[in-house]
Amino acid sequence: MASNTFHRRSLMAGVALAAPALIGREAAAQTPSFFRIGTGSAGGTYYPIGGIVANAISCPPGSACNVAGATDGVPGMVAVAQATQGSVQNVNLIQSGNAESGFVQSDVLHWSYTGTGLFEGRPQLQRLRFLAHLFPEHIHAVVRADSDIRAFSDLRGRRIAIGLQASGARVGSEMILEANGLRAGREFTAEFLNQAQGTERMQDRGLDATFTVVGYPAAAFTEFCSRTGCRILPIAGQEAARVIERAPFYSTGVIPAGAYQGVTQDVPTLTVGACWIVRDSVPDNVVYEITRALWSETTRGLLDRGHAKGREIIRQRALEGRGVVPFHPGAERFYREAGML
């Protein structure tokens, strides 16, 4: 039943183009309040995780809330996971009020809030507030199993998908390639495609590689690796060090053997945190209840059963990746009461 509910809400995400303003909790008991979560493309990890989280925090009018065997969601709330281009679009949607919340890479979050890095010279997006760190995302540099590309030096002159224009994946992909002497339009041809589009083009040999930042296992790569065969290029040693020097939000990590069919050994790579951000205008009591619902035992079960990456969303790491971005007061209240601050 929970699975069917998730799929229905996932379908809602693509058509949820508008939502009423959040309302007080008392009125919510009679009238639903809609809460939008900007995620990513359907072939990545943000979108399915967003669907699980939306299911977990929702408790529409007339539903049983906070009782045994029922949702632990916010009374009166209907949360929807919206498919987007990813982190960069999400911070802009939240800042402009076109989404109440969204999933964002910790580096994009810092740069957008402070007007630095990728956002140098742009207005600071200071309506962003921190709700929680969710999980580490891994750099995937994927090629066909029969490709002659074995290292970054082999990517010169190739055609590479680096993520959608307004995605954190593009930011990470370009940074890693540039740190290794490869610039779009000069040393390689960039295609602004998501994971699903990139793997389709690789299958047809219209691309040589697909780079992205995503939590494993990502659906698009799972399908591609099982259908066509794949390899993941390692990012280690000086290749990794050059990126970390430029962006200390990145750290070393591993895509483990067995994460995808044909990946028989651990692959060293880089990781960056995925955070859940909310707009400062969302009422404190609403964010408090959302934070409570996120870290409830009921949600724990939904995350564990719903997606492999869901098992990595743990309360012990909830405060990572925030940097200088303020807590939303509602989330801060929850963490203080839980003894975490």
Q: What is the pLDDT of residues 239-255, one digit of tens each?
A: 899 888 888 788 899 99
How confident is the model at residue 3, as a pLDDT?
A: 39
* Contacts for 244 with CB less than 8 Å, ≥ 6 apart: 250, 251, 252, 270
- Residue 115: count of CB within 10 angstroms of its CB: 15
Q: Would you state the pLDDT for residue 72?
A: 85
Q: State the alpha helices, DSSP H only, in 37-141.
A: 46-57, 87-96, 106-114
The predicted pLDDT at position 19 comes to 40
Beta strands in 128-266 (DSSP E): 128-144, 159-161, 189-191, 209-214, 230-232, 251-255
Q: Which helix (H) or strand (E) holds 59?
A: strand 58-59
pLDDT at 172: 83
For residue 235, give every residue at least 6 positions away whose Cβ sits within 8 Å of its Cβ, in sequence order, or none.
139, 141, 176, 243, 268, 269, 270
The segments of the chain whose pLDDT lies below 50 read 1-29
Could you tell me the CA-to-CA distances from 192 to 47, 144, 181, 301, 323 in Å, in that order? 19, 19, 19, 36, 29
Distance CA 312, CA 84 (A): 23
Count Cα neighbours of 84 within 13 Å in the Cβ-side half-sphere: 30
Which pair of structure tokens corresponds to residue 125?
């997006």
> What 3-state class would DSSP assign to 75?
strand
Q: Identify which of 127, 110, 99, 95 has the alpha carbon closest to the alpha carbon of residue 39.
A: 99
Report pLDDT for 70. Answer: 59
Helices and strands (H, E) in the chain, number of each type? 12, 12
Q: What is the pLDDT of residues 47-71, one digit of tens each?
A: 999 999 999 999 998 877 766 655 6
Supply the pTM of this predicted model.
Answer: 0.77
* Half-sphere exposure of residue 287: CA atoms within 13 angstroms, side-chain side: 24
Q: Specify the pLDDT at position 16.
A: 39
Report whether 28 contacts 61 (CB < 8 A): yes
Residue pair 13/82 in contact by the 8 Å Cβ criterion: yes
